[in-house]
Structure 1
Amino acid sequence: MTTTALTYRLFLAVTLAPDVQAAAAAWSRELEQKLTFRKWVHPHDLHITLQFLGPTQLDQVDALQEAVQSAASRAAEASFTLTLGTLGTFGRPQRPSILWAGIGGDGFQLLTQLHAQICDATASLGFEPENRAFHPHLTLAREYNSEVPLDTGLLSRLKPPTDENGKPLSWRVDNVTLYRSLLGQKPMYDPLASFPIGPQT
């Protein structure tokens, strides 16, 4: 008799500061009134994916966490700043599969470096990076669902929220989070562990 090893569906991400998450969630609710997508991301599920790991056996999780912690601790800085940007899509422009908000800020290059370090660390455990360039973004909705093609010009007119000075919303990123996907649930992503970025004293 054979048994199936318990697996988790995992990914690594950086999260939003609470105030930025709240603003992004409010923006998403506004967008839902103007853009017809089948699935809108739950506010607690908003994140920036660093690496999708996929089905992972439970007995691999400890080694995975050690690898991610080591990679995060080798980051050049202990934290960095990101900003919330404008809307974009993946898939066919007039019938996209994903609606997202771009990510920018002074820490964009450090985020890219962190992604590369994590992918290198997890590769030794058999996790393969995606075969495409890293494009950090905040997924807001999935599956455009209208008989009318999307007005792509509308996206540029739906401006992201700003701070009290009219500047892009920004926040400090100081850790990497390991998430488990709970398909069919809301919120769908369950944080399992958090790893500080940069050298630890």
Structure 2
Amino acid sequence: MTRAFVALPIPEPLIGRLVTLSQMLPLKRRVPPENYHVTLAFLGDVTDMQLDDLHDALLTIRSAPFGLTLTPPALFGGEKPRVIHAGVDPAPPLVDLHDKVQGAMRKAGLAPEGRRFVPHVTLSRESPRGPDLMRLETALADLSDFSAGPETVRDFRVMESHLGSAGPDYEPLELYPLNG
């Protein structure tokens, strides 16, 4: 079994902006820049046959390169946040690509995630509480006008996730050009 997901890589000019943004926040467990991405679909544990079927379905996707724009950072997790992320503008080409990937999953016999698509780049996975949460919320408020991009995305990828004690490590399995 392979633990996998479908992702958009972050264009190089935006990686530098994300590193700077991450350093402006009081984070304890920063995601390394080489792991920055926008998840289009989480596949979970899949077999080689399922990956082959998904590959065939993803090859049929037609989508042109498009601009990716970062928006202000925020928290996921409600009253007990667990993820600090940079937002990503849900521009129509991005949402369309997400929908096409979900359709490819269905063609391959994989169940798409049921939750609403909220494009983002994870900056940290941690659970700030008390004073740490207050400092983080203040820093997020100070960055409420943050924006970067657009920068052109030219492909999407199937990635394998290797879980380790230092956090996940991602390896590209397949690359799909946006040449739509």
Give the TM-score, by structure 1 length: 0.79
Rounded Cα–Cα distance in structure 2 between residues aligned with 1:126 and 1:156: 42
Q: Secondary structure at the match of 2:163?
A: coil
Counterparts of 1:21-100 in structure 2 under 5 Å? 21-31=15-25, 34-35=26-27, 37=28, 39-71=29-61, 73=62, 75=63, 78-93=64-79, 95-100=80-85
Larger Rg: 1
Query: Which residue does the alignment assign to 2:117?
Result: 134
Whether the 8 Å CA contact 1:23–1:161 is kept in 2: the answer is no
Query: Which residue does the alignment assign to 2:176?
Result: 195
Rounded Cα–Cα distance in structure 2 between residues aligned with 1:154 and 1:161: 11
Whether the 8 Å CA contact 2:5–2:44 is kept in 1: the answer is yes
Alpha-carbon offset, residue 186 of structure 1: 6.2
Rounded Cα–Cα distance in structure 2 between residues aligned with 1:186 and 1:150: 22
Alpha-carbon offset, residue 131 of structure 1: 1.4
Query: Which residue does the alignment assign to 1:4?
Result: none
Query: Which residue does the alignment assign to 1:17?
Result: 11
Alpha-carbon distance change, 161 to 147 in structure 1, aligned in 2, over 3 angstroms: closer
Rounded Cα–Cα distance in structure 2 between residues aligned with 1:26 and 1:153: 17
Equivalent residue letter for 1:18:
E
Give the TM-score, by structure 2 length: 0.87
Q: Using the aligned pairs only, state the percent identity.
A: 31
Rounded Cα–Cα distance in structure 1 between residues aligned with 2:128 and 2:67: 34
Query: Which residue does the alignment assign to 2:162?
Result: 182
Alpha-carbon offset, residue 45 of structure 1: 0.3
Unaligned runs of 5+ in 2: none
Rounded Cα–Cα distance in structure 2 between residues aligned with 1:197 and 1:88: 29
Rounded Cα–Cα distance in structure 2 between residues aligned with 1:102 and 1:128: 25
**Displacement over 6 Å in runs of 4+:** none
